[in-house]
Structure 1
Amino acid sequence: MTDTVSTAPTPTKHLLKSRFGWFFAGRTVDLAGSSMTTVALALSVLQASGRAADLGIVLAANMIPTLALLLLGGTVADRVSRRTVLIVSNLCTAAVMATMAVLLLSSRYHLAVFVGLALVGGVVNAFSQPALRGIVPELVERQDLQRANALLASSQNTVRILGPMLASILVATVGGGWALAADAASYLLAAAAFTRIPGTSRPPAARGPLWRDLLDGWATFRSMRWVVVMTVSFALVNAANVGPWNVLGAQVVLDHDGAVGWGTVQTVRAIGLLVMSIVAVKLVLRRPLRDGAVWGTLSALPLLAVGATGNVWVVSAAAFVGGLGLTVASIGWETTLQAAVPEESLSRVAAYDELFSYVAIPLSQLAVGPLAAAYGAQEVIVACGVAYVVVSLLPLLNREIRTMRA
């Protein structure tokens, strides 16, 4: 079903000793900070205010500017040094986290101040994300892109398991302020690692107006039909998956097995993501878009399992397999995008991809509640699982996507 061949591990060792190694180290620490922040910030705000509404406002304040400025962030990352963008963004995020930590440690929590800081963090994230996706082709040879992305996925999935656990322990033992202080320190370490990345030979971008670069990025994005088709597919996949899984899936499993059951499902899913990202380091996807689409259908299994039974062990097994499929799909897409899109336009195209892919998520989260009330939670989840399979395979109608090689 998938064209893969084993490769020797020596290139991986070589990659980690090259300039990519410093990026890998910085990105791993950066991801550790991000995964800790999600939990530490949530628990800290609840601990300080006692109001769930405060947390919702702070999280929304962080998300809105990221979506609003993502295209601008991609344009900037294509104009200037992506290495510089990453250093500055990590320093800014460290400052935001440190300020929050000081406020909590001095018992000066105030919702308006935290909202303002969350807004700044969201702005910074809008610039860092396109730079992160665009810099990898500057650091490795084209034939090493998949291996590099698999290594990055391995570190990401590892810290997804360990980061939230560490943040929870810090909040429970020494308090939210110190947990956010640890987050701030991790972003400083990431910035230090990024400073060790040698300068690249990427030619400087033409210094035209930003709006012109933004339009040029849109023209590049739109001209690559396979990119548009895949992005639309991702938007539909997110619509079919995120709301049903995070909202209805949690509800069904909680009703069957309680909070521990849902935590077990999430942990097992994360293990599946990690296992496949490690395996992918030693595999080569010959046709990454085709292979990713086929493997990606496995990610529908957790939805179908929740809809069919809701039993924690059945759902956990399905979530593990789904994690395997999602990892292959993600690595295949990222590698193809980095290899095929012109380097001077990569961050902008990635920003358009990310924006259009994610815009369906809040709509999905808002829609599933009324749909479940009208038709039943498990019935809606099963329908979304079937839709997930269909929209995952839909891009294969495009010949370029079916036949494109690594």
Structure 2
Amino acid sequence: MPLPAGPPPLWNRNFRLFFVARAVAVLGEGMVPVGLAAGLLGDGRPDSSVGYALGAWIGTFAALVLFGGVLADRFTARRMMIIADLLRLPGAAVLAVAFTVGSPPLWSVYALSALSGVGAALFQPGVASTIPRIASDVQRANAVLRVVESLMTMAGPALAGLLLAFSDVGTVFAVNAATFGVSALCLALMRIPALAHDRIARGSMRAELAIGWREFTARNWLWGVIAIWTVYGLTVAGPMTTLTATLVTGDHGSSTYGVLMAVNGAGNAAGGLLALRLRPRRPLAAGAVALLGLPVNLYLLGSGASVALLGAGQFIAGAAFAFWLVMWSTSVQTHVPQEALNRMHAYDVAGSLLMMAAGRALAGPVAEAVGAEHVLLVGAGIAVLVVGALLVVRPIRTLGRAHGT
């Protein structure tokens, strides 16, 4: 009598293709800020032009990601991710040509950055629902993807710098365009069986958003984490990104800042590897405890520690955040129904991104008023309170692993 077929191994054909798609896409995304800075500043544009170009991306992404979640639930995540890649590919190609032949007008750079933000808004919600469909071990899949994304986040700027040393800005954006092509091809080659809810009739966009909101608010642990995380993004994560750059660069130089960011990326990879081995019965509680590594980093930054200690803090913070992110992603992907998962992920991303963007914008004025070190030290205290809040809220603390994961 033949044995029943078990779940597919992690490295099945679909996961391998998705792994490559994510790796090359994150590599390409990491090249963009370097390419924009080199292209715009090299043409004599003001420093603010780089911020505006990146802001155009963030603005359109934040404004449209909720609609991206609805479209992914309606037309399937894979289809929307392919469309998103094919939308971003010609935009990057146009930038490649424009920077190669001359100095493109700022309005065109901003418009193409905004177009890339639209593509990202269509792409990102589908990541959450794709992983449970292609991997039987969702936590392991998330951990593996977190490791490669961390490595590619470090490799992207490095590759852009290498290309600029031997070529020009146009080459950076040409390679960026190619990464979207590779990603789209890999996604197109995936064969994901349709589920029953893929074929159900959908209502209007407004009705789908409303249904998604009801699904979101019906889960106390879900909206509880995101509510707490919005406070964290505004008061801790947003200011930390901006003030780390200004403090480290001002005290130790830009090269030291680059090395510390690489160390943070290595910590991210280590946190992903740790999540491959540990399978806590209460993932969110374990992830919250791991987040105690973040206030350590903030304290070291705010207290003027040596470069060696700053490196240790960055590694610890990177590992802590990666471990939390794997626990959080796995919990969402295994406890939320597939038919609502893309919209849930979109609400998560929109709330987190908007608050982090606000925190980054407010960091400068607040730091000028009270001092950057004081803002970071207060942020360290708030980060500890955030961990306490995550552990105090019972639905978050007691959420267990989904059956079979």
Q: Do the two structures share a fold, i.e. TM-score over 0.5?
A: yes
**Residue number in structure 2 paired with 1:5:** none
Q: 1:307, 1:382 within 8 Å by CA — same for their partners in 2? A: yes
- Whether contact under 8 Å (1:256, 1:310) holds in the other structure is no
The reply to whether residue 167 of structure 1 matches residue 137 of structure 2 is no
Matches of residues 2-17 of structure 1 in structure 2 within 5 Å?
Answer: 14-17=9-12
In structure 2, distance between residues paired with 1:50 and 1:398: 49
**1:32 paired to 2:27:** yes
Q: Which of 39, 42, 47 pairs up with 2:37?
A: 42
Provide the residue aligned with 1:213 in structure 2: 208
Kindly state the Cα deviation for residue 122 of structure 1 after the two structures are TM-superposed: 1.1
Match of 2:173 in 1: 180
Q: Alignment partner for residue 266 of structure 1, among 256, 261, 267?
A: 261
Of 239, 244, 248, which aligns to 2:243? Answer: 248
Which deviates further from its counterpart, 324-333 or 245-254? 245-254
1:237/1:392 contact within 8 Å kept: no
Of 64, 82, 94, the residue aligned with 2:77 is: 82
Per the TM alignment, residue 74 of structure 1 is displaced from its structure 2 partner at its CA by 0.5
What is the rounded CA distance, in whole Å, between the counterparts of 1:266 and 1:12 in structure 2? Answer: 38
Asked if the contact 1:240/1:385 (under 8 Å) is kept, the reply is no
Q: Distance in 2 between matches of 1:305 and 1:99?
A: 43
SS in 1 for 2:202: coil
User: 1:98 maps to what in 2?
Assistant: 93
CA contact (8 A) 2:10 2:141 kept: yes
1:19-72: CA deviations, max 9, x gaps? 222111111111111112232233222223432232222112111111111111
2:3 is aligned to: none
Q: CA 1:154 to 1:13, structure 2 compared with 1: closer, same or farther past 3 Å?
A: farther
Contact 2:128 2:342 in 1 (8 A): yes
Residues 202 and 208 of structure 2 are in contact (CA less than 8 Å); yes or no, is this contact kept in structure 1? no
Cα distance change of structure 1 residues 104 and 69 upon mapping to structure 2, 3 Å threshold: same
TM-score (norm 2): 0.93
SS in structure 1 at match of 2:141:
helix
Deviation readout 1:128-173 (Å, 9 max, x if unpaired)? 01011221112122xx010000011011001011111001121232
* Residue of structure 1 in register with 2:231 after alignment: 236
SS in structure 2 at match of 1:309: coil
Q: Specify the code of the residue in structure 1 equivalent to 2:58.
A: M
Query: Please, what TM-score do these two structures have when normalized by structure 1?
Result: 0.93
The match for 1:57 is: 52
2: CA distance, partners of 1:310 / 1:239? 24
Name which of 105, 108, 116 aligns with 2:111. Answer: 116
Contact 2:140 2:276 (8 Å CA) reproduced: yes
C-alpha contact (below 8 Å) 1:48/1:109 kept by paired residues = no
- Using the alignment, how far apart are the partners of 1:39 and 1:202 within structure 2? 41
- Aligned to 2:104, what secondary structure does the other structure show? coil
Instruction: Say if 1:18 and 1:393 are closer, same or farther in 2 by CA, change over 3 A.
Output: farther
Q: Which amino acid aligns with 2:160?
A: A
Partner of residue 309 from structure 1, selected from 301, 304, 310: 304
2:349 matches 1:354: yes
CA contact 1:248–1:377 (8 Å) conserved in 2: yes
Which of 132, 139, 143 in structure 2 is aligned with 1:150? 143
Contact 1:293 1:329 in 2 (8 A): yes
Q: CA RMSD in A?
A: 1.8
Moved over 6 A (4+): none
Q: What CA deviation, in whole Å up to 9, does each residue of 1:313-357 have, x standing for no partner?
A: 111111111111111110000000000011000010111111111
Matched to 2:294, the amino acid is S
> Is the Cα contact below 8 Å between 1:257 and 1:311 reproduced in 2?
no
Instruction: After TM superposition, list the pairs within 5 Å mapping 1:342-381 onto structure 2.
Output: 342-381=337-376
* 8 Å contact kept, 1:293–1:396: yes
Structure 1: unaligned runs, 5 residues or longer: 1-10
Q: Which runs of 5+ in 2 are unaligned?
A: 1-5
Q: Is the 8 A contact 1:46 1:52 kept in 2?
A: yes
Map Cα deviations across residues 265-298 of structure 1 (whole Å, 9 max, x no partner): 1111111111221232233232110001110121
Q: CA deviation at 1:14?
A: 2.9
Identity over aligned residues, as a percent? 29
| Residue 222 (str. 1) matches residue 217 (str. 2) | yes
Counterpart secondary structure, 1:200: coil
Contact 2:14 2:192 in 1 (8 A): no
Deviation of 1:89 after TM superposition, in Å, equals 1.0
